[in-house]
Amino acid sequence: MQEEKTVPIDTSGESVEIELKEDEKKKARISWSQFSMYRTCPHRWELNYAKKLRKFIPSIHLIFGTAMHEV
């Protein structure tokens, strides 16, 4: 018997299904910000959370850390 690959989410009468990888099924938790992003743009949610292709935003901390490692 094959395992189900989606997790149903009930949103006041509206049903949403999110596909998860096998290793993520045990720790599947969705924050309110993730849910809000999914409601706004499912494709953006997929890129950010399912495929982990997040937009890189440099900060002073990253620049400092990189400089320290290069020395």
In tens, the pLDDT along 15-63 reads 667 776 666 556 667 889 999 999 999 999 998 888 888 777 889 999 9
Q: How far apart are CA 6 and CA 25, in angstroms?
A: 9
Give which of 58, 38, 39, 40 is closest to 48, Cα–Cα: 38
Q: What is the pTM of this model?
A: 0.43
User: What are the residues whose beta carbons fall under 8 Å from the beta carbon of 13, sequence distance 6 or more?
Assistant: none
What is the pLDDT at residue 40? 93
Q: Between these two residues, 69 and 58, which has the higher pLDDT value?
A: 69
Amino acid 1: pLDDT: 47
Please state, as a whole number, how many other Cβ atoms lie within 10 Å of the Cβ of residue 57. Answer: 6
18: number of Cβ within 10 Å: 19
